[in-house]
Amino acid sequence: MNLSASLVLEQVVNGVVTGTIYALVGAGLTLVYGTMRVLNFAHGEFFMLGGYVMLLTIAVIANPTAGILVAAVIVFCVAAAVQRFLLRQTHRNADATFAPIALTLGVSVVLQSGALLVFGETYQSINYFVEGTLRIGDFRIAWQRILIVIVGLGLIAILAGFLRFTMLGKAIRATAQDPDAARAVGVPIGLVHTLVFGISGALAAISAALVSPLFAVSPWMGTTLTIKGFIVTVLGGLGSFPGSIMAGIIIGVAESITVMLTASEWREPFSLLLLLFVLLLRPQGLMGAPWSRVT
């Protein structure tokens, strides 16, 4: 295979684009697990819901920025409502280990079936927000992909700053580290859990809105992302926010290079093989410290 430097660079950059989305999805899952110790199996459907909200908003307003904001707000409200009125009930029973898993799986099925009922099986596409291609010699990349990286990494930086420097962010970190101690000093644990679940859903919605021009919107668009998000979460270290970001980028770039060297069929198996290899060497993941200590 004749691999030029420009081709390799294109694949690496495309991997960073994909990895940025993986990082956003993994960050949402990590945020929930690190704070609530809950694995949210409905996260992919929040992603899917964000894609459809983006699709409908663009059809009405024809403004991508408005579409992203509307998707984030609506999915934030849906996710917060799921936590407040459904998931919160399972936290009242300390022995309910598998109840949150069953509940989020149920929410996943309901949202996916609802989307299938309302929108059907048709795959629907959205035009690029930014037309054109950046060309530097033989290297080329669509401006839409550059936009995804800029917005995605900027959002991650904002979230990291929010968690570290704001009062609410400190309340979230305190809840993650020791819920009982946080409650004792006046932190409203229930409200923190609701906000965290909502923020996680908003991250998924923004991710879907950003990639909707690249991948068609469908009721199943979140299924693969859920699996990939859990791989990112485990690979980075359960509960490690920086670890999930690192793992997302690593997996995205590694997948892109794997496809370039072999075939597209190896994309999904390679993610699992990479996960197994890392866990054999480092069972706690890349940055397997408690989430609240590494944000």
User: Tens of pLDDT along 28-83?
Assistant: 998 998 888 888 999 999 999 999 999 999 999 889 999 999 999 999 999 999 99
Phi and psi at 124, nearest 5°, equal -120, 140
Is pLDDT above 60 for 229?
yes
Q: What is the pTM of this model?
A: 0.89
pLDDT of residue 271: 81
Q: How far apart are the C-alpha atoms of 21 and 235, rounded to whole Å?
A: 16
* C-alpha pair distances (Å), 270 with each of 20, 187, 210, 226, 258: 18, 42, 25, 16, 8
pLDDT band of residue 131 (cuts 50, 70, 90) is confident
Q: Dihedral of CA 59/118/82/48: which sign? A: negative
* C-alpha pair distances (Å), 295 with each of 131, 171, 192: 36, 13, 16
CATH 1.10.3470, domain 5-294, yes or no: yes
Residue 124 β-bridge partners = 217
Q: How far apart are the C-alpha atoms of 85 and 191, rounded to whole Å?
A: 12
Q: How far apart are the C-alpha atoms of 220 and 240, rounded to whole Å?
A: 28
Q: How far apart are the C-alpha atoms of 169 and 295, rounded to whole Å?
A: 10
